[in-house]
Amino acid sequence: MIRSSRSQEVFERNREFIPGGVSSLNRVAPPRLSFARGKGSRMWDVDGNEYIDYHAAFGPHLLGYACDEVVAAVRRVLDEGVELFGSGATELEGELAALLCRNIPELDRVVFLNSGSEATAQALRVARAYTGKDHVIVMQGGYNGWHNDVACNVMTPLADVGPRRARDEYPVLPISAGIPLEHRSLIHVVNYNDLESVEAVCRRYPVGALITEPVLQNIGVVKPQPGYLAGLRALSREHGFTLVFDEVKTGFRNGFGGYATVSGITPDLVVYGKAVASGYPLAVLGGRADIMGLFEERTPGKRVLLAGTYNAHPIVMAAALATLRLLLDPDRAIYAQLEARSQQLESGLRLLLPELGRPVTVTRSASAFGVYFMDHEPRDWHDILEHHDMALDEALRARLVEKGIYWFPLATKQVSISAAHSTADIEITLEQVRAAVGELARERQTVAG
Ligand SMILES: Cc1ncc(COP(=O)(O)O)c(C=O)c1O
């Protein structure tokens, strides 16, 4: 057992003033650890345990913790007194906007917000304003934030999801209380990789937007089947809805920009977050000039409100500029390095995990991994619910955390590599996977015998 008494104390102390002791419910999974420090591929908890990290704080740390260039850029802003003034434009925001729009074809214009949830909320608001239609399609097993339009049907148990539906929507199952019933009637949940259900919903309701992660990455890595994203693009033209790619997780993992570039499918709007600023609170909403133009529309009643005390905070702008310049730097070749490490991990996992005596499928999108104990690549959440061995998944994760390899200890959660992971880090990781698999396989045999 790892030492965790101080971690537990932090939870208990915090609980007196913070409900549950922690500021995001998504961060709670057993064993409840409290982390104190991170550098490169490593992080340390308050009891002094060291981990090689594959969680990346749910995605932002593509460059690893406390990347020197990012930290230096933030320090410069602080030292030079570049404060938040809340009046007028700043040079930093213009610089970042130009860097993004000049390098990412799907961006004519961008706006800066503080979190992925804010940005997906604004994306849906501007999409509704543009189309004049209020209904929205979301994906079963997709996560797009915590607001009323999207806080539903992420990791819903099979008993609640019910039988698979074809050419149909699923009931909206909110992951939060307090979402008005009336509001739920505007939201339609369909399976990912299912174009026929999107079409069926569009025939029944005035759909103004469809929002999806182009690769589902909150339930591991579930990839689009050939033709799926192109099919969404065609349906959006046929039925007049705005196609929104939520690239909060996929963004900057596959290359500069999002999965849109990899797939060759251009959405109308795109949202980035997480990796774009290496863990500083930034989200970017961007896309077509005519839609984004609604943020500066002069006709009364047509303008979409863009406001926020902290929008485009200079510390965050500086962190993003430093991050993106590194990603673009040909001498650093960050994507080539990430690909080499990712292949090393992938082939090791494919070799070692079958020793558990269960079918295993490892999916990978660039430096993001899904590990499923089932005999095929999942096509959607329903498929995972029906076939994946969740208990074995959690047992493996718990064992790895004990051994100093931090895979987020909740079944199906994505495993991510950063540019700070070295060949030696991956070798150590694979040794620990081998040990964990051996222990679990022996225990399973004992139970079976
Ligand atoms: C794909 C996706 N969209 C949106 C969000 C919401 O972002 P935030 O937590 O920054 O509000 C997340 C967060 O995990 C996400 O993974």
How many CA atoms does the CB half-sphere of 267 hold within 13 Å? Answer: 31
Q: Any idea which residue has 């993004």 for tokens?
A: 100
Q: Are 106 and 287 in contact (CB under 8 A)?
A: yes
Dump pLDDT digits (tens) for 299-341.
989 999 999 999 999 999 999 999 999 999 999 999 999 999 9
Q: What is the pLDDT of residues 115-142, one digit of tens each?
A: 999 999 999 999 999 999 999 999 999 9
Helix (H, G, I), strand (E, B) or coil at 288: coil
Give CA–CA dist 447/449, Å, rounded: 6
128 touches ligand 1 (CB under 6 Å) = no
Q: Is the pLDDT of residue 449 over 90?
A: no
What is the structure's pLDDT at 255?
95
> Model pTM?
0.98
DSSP letter at 29 equals -
CA of 208 from ligand 1 middle (Å) equals 21
Cα(146) to ligand 1 centroid in Å equals: 8
Q: Give residue 164's pLDDT band: very low, low, confident or very high (50, 70, 90).
A: very high
- What pLDDT score was predicted for residue 90? 96
Q: Rounded CA gap, 3 and 31, in Å?
A: 11
Question: From the alpha carbon of 250, which atom of ligand 1 is closest?
Answer: 1
**How confident is the model over 169-179, as pLDDT tens digits?**
999 999 999 99
Instruction: Please calculate the CA angle 63-192-267 and round it to the nearest 5 degrees.
Output: 65
338 and 440 in a single domain? The answer is yes
Confidence at residue 1, expressed as pLDDT on a 0 to 100 scale: 83
Band of residue 446 on the pLDDT scale cut at 50, 70, 90: confident
Please give the pLDDT value at position 387: 98
Residue 134 and residue 29 share a domain: no
Q: State whether 208 and 101 are in the same domain.
A: yes
Residue 181 banded pLDDT, cuts 50, 70, 90: very high
- Which pLDDT score is estimated for 107? 98
Confidence grade of residue 445 (pLDDT, cut at 50, 70, 90): confident
Residue 204 C-alpha from the chain's centroid: 30
How long is the chain?
449
- Return the beta strands (E) in 351-399 as ranges: 361-365, 368-372
Q: Does residue 431 sit in the same domain as residue 338?
A: yes
Query: What's the rounded Cα separation, in Å, for the pair 3 and 14?
Result: 19
> Which of 154, 175, 274 for a ligand 1 pocket mutation test, highest count of atoms within 8 Å of Cβ?
274
Name the nearest CA neighbour of 268 among 284, 288, 248.
Answer: 288
Average pLDDT over residues 194-212: 98
Q: Is 374 exposed, middle or buried (0-12, 13-18, 19+ CB in 10 A)?
A: middle
| Residue whose C-alpha is closest to residue 341's, from 430, 436, 224, 272 | 430
According to the model, what pLDDT value does residue 300 have?
A: 84
- Whether 193 has a pLDDT exceeding 90, the answer reads yes
Do 92 and 449 meet the contact criterion of CB atoms below 8 Å apart? no
Give the mean pLDDT of 419-423.
98
Q: Are residues 203 and 79 in the same domain?
A: yes
**pLDDT tier, 92 (very low <50, low <70, confident <90, very high otherwise):** very high
Q: Would you state the pLDDT for residue 77?
A: 97
C-alpha R_g of the chain: 22
Shared domain check, 50 and 20: yes
Q: Both 238 and 356 in a single domain?
A: no
Task: Say yes or no: 62 and 89 in one domain.
Answer: no
Region 69-73 average pLDDT: 98
φ/ψ of 201, rounded to 5, equals -65, -40
Ligand 1 touching residue 143 (CB < 6 A): yes
Atom in ligand 1 nearest the alpha carbon of residue 115: 10
Mean pLDDT in the chain? Answer: 97
Q: Is the CB of 249 under 6 A from ligand 1?
A: yes
Eight-class DSSP state of 27: G
pLDDT for 156: 93
Q: Is the CB of 106 under 6 A from ligand 1?
A: no
Domain enclosing residue 412, as ranges: 5-66+332-448
Same domain, 302 and 158: yes
- Looking at ligand 1, which atom is closest to the CA of residue 118? 11
d(CA 230, CA 170): 23
Q: State the CATH number of the domain containing residue 200.
A: 3.40.640.10
DSSP letter for each residue of 295-337: GG--STTTPPP---TTTT-HHHHHHHHHHHHHHH-TTT-HHHH
Boundary (domain end) residue, out of 328, 358, 374: 328
End residue of a domain, out of 308, 328, 348: 328
Whether 143 and 265 share a structural domain: yes
Give 215-253 pLDDT, tens digit per residue: 999 999 999 999 999 999 999 999 999 999 999 999 999
Residue 246 beta carbon below 6 angstroms from any ligand 1 atom: yes
Half-sphere exposure of 139 (CA within 13 A, CB side): 30
Instruction: Mark which of 282, 307, 328 sits at the end of a domain.
Output: 328
pLDDT number for residue 447: 79
Q: How many CB atoms lie within 10 A of CB 132?
A: 9
User: Residue 42: CA atoms inside 13 Å, Cβ hemisphere, count?
Assistant: 10
Give every CB contact of residue 163 below 8 A, 6+ residues apart in sequence: none
Provide, rounded to the nearest whole percent, the portion of the chain with pLDDT above 70: 100
Q: What is the pLDDT of residues 298-308, one digit of tens each?
A: 998 999 999 99
Q: How many domains does the chain have?
A: 2
Residue 89 amino acid letter: A
> Is the domain of 392 the same as that of 278?
no
Nearest CA to ligand 1 atom 16: 249
Using a 6 Å cutoff on CB, does residue 280 contact ligand 1?
no
CATH of the domain at 43: 3.90.1150.10
